């Protein structure tokens, strides 16, 4: 598959996600005091020792951009992923899983171990997350092929690489040179807080689709309009809370800002308008990757020229499929009806 074949190219951290359900006394596990949700970085050796002691771990190729391109490929979109892995078993598994979904692995191989993220689930408790990016951090500007950016319709950036300024600036410069659209999933509330000024600049100057979850959207709105920090949730309805996003989109066709609201569905802001996409709430098995699935559905529909309301609806539908399973490794046949729907002419 050559560069001309790609509609969507994801660029970001290549991580193996490791899921396990913990039962009973787990005090003998290393890093059992790991923080919840916000995560914690550990060394590769610590990660290896932790995984060795986990009961029945489930492996899934992960990282936000990789999750999105895998699922978009299963919806019939021609995709590729650029990331850095080690020359090890996890690196080969990562490559195999991309290929099994139909996504092209444009991987960089380094001497460091493939990065990983462990999600520790225990009944009645918030999952604990620990990560060791390792080889994923080796991806640099020199690894981004100009012809790939030139020929792709959309480049999807993992928000967790926003701090690597040289890499991101190089990608955005190439995208601007060739008129390639950009999508960014913010990644976390902390990433938004750290890079809000740059995200605003991208919104005002790039052909950008920005994906935010509820916490990220609130943080970005508080940056755009600091007066919101003086008000409590009781003082604001949802429309007022997110009005800074609506205002930010009034200037032109872009940016498009999609807010992922979990069981409440999603809100999309574009050209100063608001599109609300409710969803059906279900009890999730695991919410890891749900936001990436929403982005995959949204982008796939957008690349097939669907309306923004339809984009958000497909995002919701795909997210509902993913929260039923650990990670984003789903059988393509389970997504067949969505793939057929996208293949239909408008």
Q: Tell me: pLDDT of 245 over 70.
A: yes
Q: Taking residues 281-302, what's their average pLDDT?
A: 77
Q: What is the pLDDT of residue 292?
A: 93
Q: Tell me: pLDDT of 284 over 50.
A: no
Q: What is the pLDDT of residue 231?
A: 86
Q: What is the pTM of this model?
A: 0.91
Q: Taking residues 117-128, what's their average pLDDT?
A: 80
Q: Taking residues 199-210, what's their average pLDDT?
A: 97
Q: Tell me: pLDDT of 133 over 80.
A: yes
Q: Note the pLDDT tens digit of each residue in 28-60.
A: 555 545 444 446 889 999 999 999 988 888 899
Q: From CA 221, how far away is CA 228, in angstroms rounded?
A: 8
Q: Taking residues 95-106, what's their average pLDDT?
A: 97
Q: Under DSSP, is residue 217 helix (H, G, I), strand (E, B) or coil?
A: helix
Tokens representing residue 292 in the block:
């990436």
- Token pair 């994801």 is found at 10
Sheet with 181-185, strands from edge to edge, namely: 104-110, 79-86, 8-11, 154-158, 181-185, 208-213, 256-260, 266-270, 273-277
Q: What is the pLDDT of residue 232?
A: 83
Q: What is the pLDDT of residue 285?
A: 43
Q: Taking residues 85-94, what's their average pLDDT?
A: 97
Could you state, in order of their start, the residue ranges of all structural domains in the chain? Answer: 6-13+63-111+141-185+279-343
Q: Note the pLDDT tens digit of each residue in 168-184.
A: 999 999 999 999 999 99
Q: What is the pLDDT of residue 29?
A: 58
At 330, is the pLDDT very low, low, confident or very high (cuts 50, 70, 90)?
Answer: confident
Q: What is the pLDDT of residue 26?
A: 53
Q: Under DSSP, is residue 41 helix (H, G, I), strand (E, B) or coil?
A: strand
Topology adopted by domain 6-13+63-111+141-185+279-343: 3.40.1190
- Residue 4 per-residue DSSP state: G
Q: Tell me: pLDDT of 252 over 90.
A: no
Q: Taking residues 103-118, what's their average pLDDT?
A: 97
């Amino acid at each position: 598959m050559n560069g001309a074949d790609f509609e969507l190219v994801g660029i970001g951290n290549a991580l193996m996600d490791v899921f396990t359900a913990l039962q009973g006394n787990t005090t003998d596990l290393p890093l059992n005091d790991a923080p919840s949700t916000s995560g914690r970085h550990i060394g590769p050796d610590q990660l290896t020792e932790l995984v060795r002691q986990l009961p029945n771990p489930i492996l899934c190729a992960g990282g936000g951009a990789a999750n999105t391109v895998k699922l978009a490929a299963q919806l019939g979109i021609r995709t590729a992923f650029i990331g850095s892995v080690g020359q090890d078993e996890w690196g080969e598994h990562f490559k195999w899983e991309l290929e099994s979904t139909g996504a092209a692995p444009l991987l960089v191989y380094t001497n460091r171990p493939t990065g990983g993220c462990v999600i520790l689930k225990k009944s009645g408790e918030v999952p604990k997350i620990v990560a060791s990016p390792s080889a994923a951090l080796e991806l640099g500007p020199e690894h981004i092929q100009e012809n790939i950016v030139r020929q792709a319709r959309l480049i999807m950036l993992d928000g967790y690489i926003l701090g690597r300024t040289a890499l991101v600036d190089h990608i955005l410069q190439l995208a601007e040179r060739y008129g390639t659209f950009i999508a960014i999933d913010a990644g976390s509330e902390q990433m938004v807080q750290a890079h809000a000024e740059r995200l605003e600049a991208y919104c005002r100057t790039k052909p950008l689709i920005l994906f935010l979850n509820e916490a990220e959207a609130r943080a970005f709105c508080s940056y755009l309009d600091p007066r919101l920090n003086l008000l409590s949730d009781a003082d604001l309805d949802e429309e007022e809370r997110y009005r800074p996003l609506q205002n930010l989109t009034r200037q032109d066709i872009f940016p498009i800002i999609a807010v992922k609201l979990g069981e409440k569905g999603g809100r999309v802001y574009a050209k100063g308008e608001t599109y609300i996409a409710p969803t059906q709430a279900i009890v999730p098995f695991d919410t890891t990757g749900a936001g990436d699935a929403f982005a995959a559905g949204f982008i796939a529909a957008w690349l097939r020229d669907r309306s923004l309301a339809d984009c958000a609806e497909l995002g919701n539908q795909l997210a509902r499929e993913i929260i039923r399973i650990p990670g984003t490794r789903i059988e393509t046949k389970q997504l067949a009806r969505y793939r057929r729907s996208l293949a239909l002419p408008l």
